[in-house]
């Protein structure tokens, strides 16, 4: 049914080819391009509420949110055109708060820089919906948020994706030929989705919660947002201290043996960071923010569970967590500041910064981006997430008195201005007309590319460079402008200037605006289970043999407790885990043997593109 229609759509789409940066090379002005993007962005707004229906087929969408779609990274040996179409056009619309949060933040950038006026009604509707994503199991006012809307069952609020759930359920009744067709289309995981649907009962997380906090504080401070929106936000999110108490409670403390949940981490995360972790000083505290606001012990069977049942940390999520915290710290009065920023939170803050610095200054972005940035296949996401912290801190240098925040500001600034910038400059590409751009992995295989994520990557890399090297300052009429750090090297200003020229071509945003903005943690051969562990049991308590067990995806707890010394760990890496020797080398994000879901959101490409152009046009001429 659905699929047959999709297939026909596919075939008809085969007739239209895309050519990145080939057809229309005309330059257009900033304001024309921004207007065009704003119009395209409006097409990505869910203007209507829709229910899920099998017939005629229609997906659920929540009115007021910006779109994102769950795609499968299908690929064959040849990197054939059919699979390009599958990636590009077959997607399941999703209604999450995460994407909309970023879009509103980007629109606010533009308003502050004077390039657009915010439509207060649309903005308010989106805020109304975002506020519904607050974790209703928590006390009122605590800004703990989940990725999907919650529903009530047996007195517990649990979150689930309506479209995925319906598709997964229908797979139980699908005839074999449909599954075979899905398989052929490189979407095997869709055919198997009835087996993995329990993995989508997500707990609230630090990432969604922190971007909401950052957006909220921006809204509260903004002259461009009407009062009723501010009132609503604060009415729902006033207990920020309660939120940071939750983050402290569920943080990773590898040297704390008082409770077996605290010093335990996902085996994949442990593998990725084993060198860093093993050189920590065991007599000092060490503590990191984790992704999920939940522990294995506190899961509620069949309703709320961490996917893979063990917590992890992710340097992209950590950067967003710091971003939310920075807004809180910069905007709190002394009483509030002292109450929230206690010794434990200070330690978490310092240690999380340390591992972000490590991610920038080591080779992990090249060697294991799939683990360092567990939920973000795009490395440019990470660099931008850090860069916007740098921009925020550098722009508020005068207001920051606390020595710990000064320390963090300096170290993130140094990391981004040195290795971070080097990474971004290292990865520029030139098209045949001499335009600079960036590209990641979508559709890049077998020495062939369809330029699927090119516009997105270019937008994100340039946002990262610009946020690293400029600060914002207020003008008399309340709008902001950007100013370059006087030390900015010429190769940085030149690269930014040329990159912006690429984005000011008439047709740039008429090509693919797809991206892999984020994903689940399983997205490469290297993010399966073949790693050393010393915690191995099923949720019912039965211990399993870690070397050769059956995989019982939703039931198993496979983790590392405490810290191994290096000789021990290297030894363990030689053994088999879940029947296989660990694959230590990162094999990339494209495989012709399996595919995995990722979230693509043209809304992000468009709104971040608007934000970027607005920032750059405000820069005082060099």
SS (H, E, C) 314-340: CHHHHHHHHHHHHHHHHHCCHHHHHHH
Interface with ligand NAG (CB under 6 A): 114, 154, 249-250, 259, 261-262, 281, 283-286, 295, 297-298, 333, 335-336, 347, 350-351, 354, 394, 397, 410, 413-414, 417, 419, 422-423, 425-426, 446-447, 475, 477, 479, 485, 487, 489, 491, 538, 540, 542, 552, 555, 565, 567-568
Mark out the alpha helices in 396-433 (DSSP H runs): 403-415, 421-426
- CA atoms in the 13 A half-sphere facing the CB of 45: 19
* Torsion, CA 174, CA 180, CA 185, CA 189, rounded to 10: 60
Shortest Cβ distance from residue 565 to ligand NAG (Å)? Answer: 4
* Cα–Cα distance, 401 to 141 (Å, whole number): 28
Looking at the Cβ atoms of 176 and 477, the one nearer to ligand NAG is 477
CA angle 16, 19, 21 (to 5 degrees): 145
Looking at the Cβ atoms of 475 and 501, the one nearer to ligand NAG is 475
Number of C-beta neighbours around residue 578 at 10 A:
22
Q: Tell me which residue has its CB nearest to ligand NAG.
A: 347
Shortest Cβ distance from residue 284 to ligand NAG (Å)? Answer: 4
Question: Token pair 């972005």 is at which residue?
Answer: 365
Does residue 92 contact residue 162 with C-beta atoms inside 8 Å? no
Shortest Cβ distance from residue 333 to ligand NAG (Å)? Answer: 4
Shortest Cβ distance from residue 356 to ligand NAG (Å)? Answer: 11
Q: Is the C-alpha dihedral spanning 98, 104, 108, 111 positive or negative?
A: positive
Does residue 228 contact residue 124 with C-beta atoms inside 8 Å? yes
Looking at the Cβ atoms of 21 and 572, the one nearer to ligand NAG is 572
* Cα–Cα distance, 593 to 528 (Å, whole number): 14
Q: What is the chain's length?
A: 622
Looking at the Cβ atoms of 21 and 328, the one nearer to ligand NAG is 328
Looking at the Cβ atoms of 65 and 424, the one nearer to ligand NAG is 424
Looking at the Cβ atoms of 5 and 552, the one nearer to ligand NAG is 552
Looking at the Cβ atoms of 546 and 597, the one nearer to ligand NAG is 546
* Cα–Cα distance, 606 to 592 (Å, whole number): 30
Shortest Cβ distance from residue 385 to ligand NAG (Å)? Answer: 17
Shortest Cβ distance from residue 508 to ligand NAG (Å)? Answer: 24
Question: Token pair 């080097």 is at which residue?
Answer: 422
* Cα–Cα distance, 221 to 212 (Å, whole number): 14
Shortest Cβ distance from residue 601 to ligand NAG (Å)? Answer: 27
Give the bridge partners for 252, in sequence order: 288
The closest of 135, 132, 137 to 155, measured between CA atoms, is 137
Using DSSP, state whether 600 is helix, strand or coil. strand
* Cα–Cα distance, 377 to 367 (Å, whole number): 13
Looking at the Cβ atoms of 50 and 249, the one nearer to ligand NAG is 249
Looking at the Cβ atoms of 433 and 565, the one nearer to ligand NAG is 565
CA angle 15, 16, 21 (to 5 degrees): 150
Looking at the Cβ atoms of 180 and 259, the one nearer to ligand NAG is 259
Shortest Cβ distance from residue 435 to ligand NAG (Å)? Answer: 18
Looking at the Cβ atoms of 521 and 536, the one nearer to ligand NAG is 536
Shortest Cβ distance from residue 233 to ligand NAG (Å)? Answer: 13
Burial class (CB in 10 A: 0-12, 13-18, 19+), 477: exposed
**Residue 56, preceding peptide bond in cis (omega within 30° of 0):** yes
Shortest Cβ distance from residue 49 to ligand NAG (Å)? Answer: 30
Shortest Cβ distance from residue 538 to ligand NAG (Å)? Answer: 4
């Amino acid at each position: 049914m659905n699929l047959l229609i999709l297939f026909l759509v596919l075939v008809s789409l085969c007739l239209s080819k895309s050519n990145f940066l080939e057809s229309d090379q005309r330059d257009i002005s900033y304001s024309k391009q921004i207007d065009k993007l704003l119009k395209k962005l409006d097409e990505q707004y869910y203007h209507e509420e829709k229910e899920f229906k099998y017939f005629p087929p229609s997906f659920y969408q929540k009115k007021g949110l910006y779109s994102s779609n769950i795609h499968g990274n299908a690929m064959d040996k040849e990197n054939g055109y059919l699979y390009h179409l599958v990636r590009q056009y077959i997607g399941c619309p999703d209604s999450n708060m995460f994407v909309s949060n970023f879009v509103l933040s980007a629109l606010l950038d533009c308003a502050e820089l004077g390039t657009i006026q915010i439509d207060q009604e649309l903005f308010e509707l989106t805020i109304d919906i975002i506020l519904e994503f607050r974790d209703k199991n928590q006390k009122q006012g605590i800004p703990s948020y989940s990725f999907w809307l919650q529903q009530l069952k047996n007195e517990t609020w649990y979150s689930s994706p309506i479209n995925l759930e319906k598709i997964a359920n229908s797979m139980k009744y699908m005839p074999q030929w449909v599954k075979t067709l899905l398989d052929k289309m490189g979407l095997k995981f869709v055919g198997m989705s009835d087996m993995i649907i329990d993995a989508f009962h997500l707990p609230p997380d630090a990432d969604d919660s922190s971007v909401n906090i950052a957006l909220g504080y921006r809204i509260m401070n903004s002259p461009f947002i009407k009062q009723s929106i501010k009132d609503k936000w604060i009415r729902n999110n006033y207990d920020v201290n309660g939120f940071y108490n939750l983050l402290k409670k569920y943080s990773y403390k590898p040297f704390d043996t008082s409770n077996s949940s605290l010093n335990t981490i996902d085996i994949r995360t442990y593998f990725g960071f084993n060198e860093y972790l093993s050189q920590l000083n065991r007599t000092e505290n060490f503590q990191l923010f984790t992704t999920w606001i939940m522990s294995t012990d506190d899961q509620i069977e069949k309703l709320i569970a961490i996917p893979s049942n063990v917590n992890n940390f992710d340097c992209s999520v950590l950067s967003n967590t710091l971003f939310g915290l920075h807004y809180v710290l910069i905007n709190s009065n002394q009483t509030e500041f002292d109450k929230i920023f206690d010794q434990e939170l200070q330690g978490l803050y310092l240690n999380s910064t340390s591992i972000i610095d490590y991610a920038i200054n080591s080779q992990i972005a090249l060697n294991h981006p799939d683990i360092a940035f567990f939920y973000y296949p795009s490395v440019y996401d990470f660099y931008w997430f850090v860069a916007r912290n740098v921009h925020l801190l550098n722009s508020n240098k005068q207001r920051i008195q606390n020595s710990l925040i000064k320390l963090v500001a300096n170290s993130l600034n140094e990391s981004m201005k040195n290795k971070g910038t080097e990474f971004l400059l290292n990865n520029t590409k030139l098209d045949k007309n001499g335009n600079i751009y960036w590209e990641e992995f979508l559709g890049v295989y077998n020495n062939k590319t369809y330029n699927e994520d090119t516009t997105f990557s270019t937008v994100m890399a340039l946002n990262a460079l610009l946020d690293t090297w400029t600060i914002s300052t207020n003008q008399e009429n309340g709008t902001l402008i950007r100013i370059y750090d006087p030390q900015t090297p010429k190769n940085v200003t030149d690269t930014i200037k040329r990159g912006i020229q690429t984005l000011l071509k008439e047709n740039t945003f008429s090509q693919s605006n797809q991206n892999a903005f984020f994903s689940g943690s399983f997205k490469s051969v290297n993010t399966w289970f073949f790693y050393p562990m010393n915690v191995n049991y099923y949720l019912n308590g039965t211990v399993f043999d870690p070397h050769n067990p059956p995989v019982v995806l939703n039931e198993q707890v496979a983790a590392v407790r405490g810290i191994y010394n290096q000789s021990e760990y290297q030894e363990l890496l030689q053994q088999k885990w879940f029947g296989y020797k660990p694959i230590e080398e990162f094999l990339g994000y494209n495989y012709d043997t399996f595919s995995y879901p990722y979230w693509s959101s043209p809304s992000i490409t468009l709104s971040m593109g608007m934000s970027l152009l607005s920032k750059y046009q405000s820069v005082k001429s060099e």
